[in-house]
Amino acid sequence: MQGMMLNRAKELLSDGTVNRVLGWQAGEFVYDITPAVFETEEELDAGFVYNGFCGNNLSKYLVKETLKDGKILVFLKPCDTYSFNQLLTEHRIDREKICAIGIPCDGKTSGEMLKAKGISGITGISEDADNFVVDTIYGQTTVAKADALEERCKTCKSKKHVAYDELLGEDGEILDSHRFDMVAKLEAMTPDERFAFWREQLSKCIRCNACRNVCPACTCEQCVFDNPKSGIAQKAAADSFEENMFHIIRAFHVAGRCTDCGECSRVCPQNIPLHLLNRKFIKDINELYGDYQAGAEVGTRAPLTNYTQEDVEPSIVYHREGK
């Protein structure tokens, strides 16, 4: 796939269709891949890569890139295409300046995921159909891909591309992902258990803002948490209240617009399962206002900027036991 992508990128660069390519750049090790803009074939040859570690969702970079001159080529994995549509819906990116190529994805992993399996001293990684073969200075280990996948990929919602100009490889299907299972499990707990769960998780927060900054739905010019005049820009999670408030409001601000790409949880240095907050909103929206998948189509009205006269009353929360 990497070869096909590289060839197509070079073609589109040389025939002048695009003047930049947004993709992934190889790093120091096998797994530390950085999003990058390539302007020449030489740059592409030197660094362009696509493999099981290219987890970054590139769609948000288009906000910045489409303000520049010329057309940019972007490679989008299936879940990235949902974010792409959502950004189009919100008029945050300029479709005219983008050539989008859909690429298949078998699920992504990361150096952190491998290390969580106790692997250390990684010097090389190769992959076959089902496994990663990891060379380390302490010896070789084989990890089943299915085991090493990030949580968001284990519960992948769709292998189908919902937006592209061209498609490389085969398109997939929307999957029955069971992605709300963990939310349902939490809902089934007692409030005390849920409180304990979230305190343990959210108290790890260091307010690095990575979850917010990486989020393709968080594209405000100035975030309320960065606005000193808002009275809530405290910078640090100085108090358990701040931790709760930051995460409730972060999730709320993207409720109905979150495509569930899972970048928030991927980047969290403290491994807080932030996607569960977003999925709670998605699950509630689906159950209360009808199924809605943000980014599935361009131009749809998000559930929180919409209503029906028959909507349920907020008091339903008292009666939905555990939900």
Of residues 275-294, those binding other proteins (CB under 8 A): 277, 280-281, 284-285, 288-289
Do residues 148 and 132 touch, judged by C-beta distance below 8 A? yes
Residues numbered 132-161 forming contacts with other proteins, rule: CB under 8 A: 136-138
- The residue among 85 and 201 lying less far from other proteins, judged by its C-beta, is 201
Binds other proteins by CB under 8 A, chosen from 7, 14, 123, 142: 123
- The residue among 217 and 285 lying less far from other proteins, judged by its C-beta, is 285
- The residue among 175 and 286 lying less far from other proteins, judged by its C-beta, is 286
Do residues 109 and 52 touch, judged by C-beta distance below 8 A? yes
Give Cβ neighbours of residue 160 (< 8 Å, ≥ 6 apart): 78, 171, 172, 173, 174
Residue 181 contacts other proteins per CB under 8 A: no
Report how far Cα 238 is from the mean position of its chain's Cα atoms.
28
- Please report how close the Cβ of residue 77 comes to other proteins at its closest, in angstroms: 16
- Tell me the window of 1-9, 85-93, 145-153, 210-218 that interacts with other proteins (CB under 8 A): 210-218
- The residue among 62 and 162 lying less far from other proteins, judged by its C-beta, is 62
Binds other proteins by CB under 8 A, chosen from 155, 201, 265, 293: 201
Residue 301 contacts other proteins per CB under 8 A: no
What strands lie across the sheet with 131-136, from one edge to the other? Answer: 122-127, 131-136, 139-144
Which SS3 state, helix, strand or coil, does residue 286 take?
A: helix
Binds other proteins by CB under 8 A, chosen from 63, 182, 186, 298: 186
Do residues 205 and 247 touch, judged by C-beta distance below 8 A? yes
φ, ψ dihedrals at 306, nearest 5°: -145, 165
| Torsion-angle region of 78 (φ positive above 0: left; ψ -120 to 50: alpha; else: beta) | alpha
Question: What is Dmax (Cα atoms) for the chain?
Answer: 64
Residue 210 contacts other proteins per CB under 8 A: yes
- Tell me the window of 69-77, 88-96, 150-158, 199-207 that interacts with other proteins (CB under 8 A): 199-207
- Tell me the window of 86-94, 95-103, 164-172, 238-246 that interacts with other proteins (CB under 8 A): 238-246
**What track of x and - describes contact with other proteins for positions 75 through 114 (by CB under 8 A)?**
------------------------------------xx--
Binds other proteins by CB under 8 A, chosen from 63, 175, 184, 249: 249
Q: How far, in Å, CA of 184 to CA of 175, rounded?
A: 18
Residues numbered 9-48 forming contacts with other proteins, rule: CB under 8 A: 27-29, 31-37
Which SS3 state, helix, strand or coil, does residue 263 take?
A: helix
- Please report how close the Cβ of residue 79 comes to other proteins at its closest, in angstroms: 16
Residue 209 contacts other proteins per CB under 8 A: yes
- The residue among 178 and 235 lying less far from other proteins, judged by its C-beta, is 235
Q: For residue 250, give both structure tokens.
A: 């972060």
- The residue among 117 and 160 lying less far from other proteins, judged by its C-beta, is 117
Question: Please, what sign has the CA dihedral across residues 179, 181, 182, 187?
Answer: positive
Q: For residue 99, give both structure tokens.
A: 């050539």
Residue 320 contacts other proteins per CB under 8 A: yes
Give Cβ neighbours of residue 255 (< 8 Å, ≥ 6 apart): 278, 281, 282, 285, 303, 304
Which SS3 state, helix, strand or coil, does residue 270 take?
A: coil
- Please report how close the Cβ of residue 193 comes to other proteins at its closest, in angstroms: 7
Do residues 5 and 58 touch, judged by C-beta distance below 8 A? no
